[in-house]
């Protein structure tokens, strides 16, 4: 069974591996940012590594990719909460997005980052049951 067969598309999830060699590795930040910004995986990786070197952190460090997205004009949004104060799951968050929304880079679950576009989480596994944390989007 392929990974794509294991994680079929749903109403809020789309299987997509932006890694140019389709590797399943710890590159969620690069995959999410490249897909959301429309840049290649290689260009995104190189830009994050360059910034990480200046900051003396790893490219998947939150400070690094947050600063990178900010440099591209993306705005950070705090964790969305329901009126009762509870957190939204990825599935719930995707369902409440407006049609044609701009791509989003979001924390989901404990330590994972995804691209959300077309009302779906684009990733190599379905993490939509995880809670949405901070997220970035172009204004």
Which ranges constitute the DSSP H helices of the chain?
Answer: 3-6, 28-37, 41-55, 62-71, 90-96
Let me know if residue 96 belongs to a domain.
yes
Are 107 and 134 a contacting pair, CB within 8 Å? yes
Instruction: Output the pLDDT for position 99.
Output: 86
Instruction: Output the pLDDT for position 12.
Output: 97
Let me know if residue 82 belongs to a domain.
yes
Instruction: Output the pLDDT for position 100.
Output: 87
For residue range 38-64, list pLDDT tens digits in order. 999 999 999 999 999 999 999 999 999
Instruction: Output the pLDDT for position 38.
Output: 97
Let me know if residue 104 belongs to a domain.
yes
What's the domain range around 50? 11-18+27-137
Given pLDDT bands bounded at 50, 70 and 90, which one contains residue 29?
very high
CA dist., res. 91 & res. 10, Å (int): 10
pTM score = 0.95
Let me know if residue 84 belongs to a domain.
yes
Are 44 and 37 a contacting pair, CB within 8 Å? yes
Structure token pair of residue 106: 């979001």
> Closest Cα partner for 89 from 133, 30, 24, 37?
133
CA dist., res. 132 & res. 137, Å (int): 14
Let me know if residue 94 belongs to a domain.
yes
Instruction: Output the pLDDT for position 110.
Output: 86
Q: Which CATH number belongs to the domain containing residue 69 in this structure?
A: 3.90.70
4-8, 71-75, 128-132: segment of lowest average pLDDT: 4-8
Q: In what order do the strands lie in the sheet with 112-117?
A: 13-15, 120-123, 112-117, 104-108, 132-137, 75-77
Q: Please state the domain count of the chain.
A: 1
Instruction: Output the pLDDT for position 72.
Output: 98
Let me know if residue 130 belongs to a domain.
yes
Let me know if residue 118 belongs to a domain.
yes
For residue range 79-124, list pLDDT tens digits in order. 999 999 999 999 999 999 988 899 999 999 989 999 999 999 999 9
């Amino acid at each position: 069974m392929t990974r794509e067969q294991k994680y079929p598309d749903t109403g809020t999830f789309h299987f997509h591996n932006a890694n140019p060699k389709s590797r399943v590795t710890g590159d969620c930040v690069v995959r999410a940012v490249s897909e959301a910004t429309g840049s290649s995986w290689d260009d995104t990786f190189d830009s994050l590594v360059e910034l990480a070197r200046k900051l003396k952190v790893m490219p998947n460090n939150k400070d690094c990719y947050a600063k990178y997205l900010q440099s591209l004009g993306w705005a950070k949004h705090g964790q969305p909460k329901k009126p009762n104060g509870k957190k939204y799951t990825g599935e719930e968050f995707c369902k409440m997005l407006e049609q044609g929304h701009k791509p989003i880079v979001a924390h989901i679950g404990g330590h994972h980052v995804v691209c959300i576009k077309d009302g779906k989480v684009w990733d190599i596994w379905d993490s939509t049951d995880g809670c949405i944390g901070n997220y970035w989007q172009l204004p």
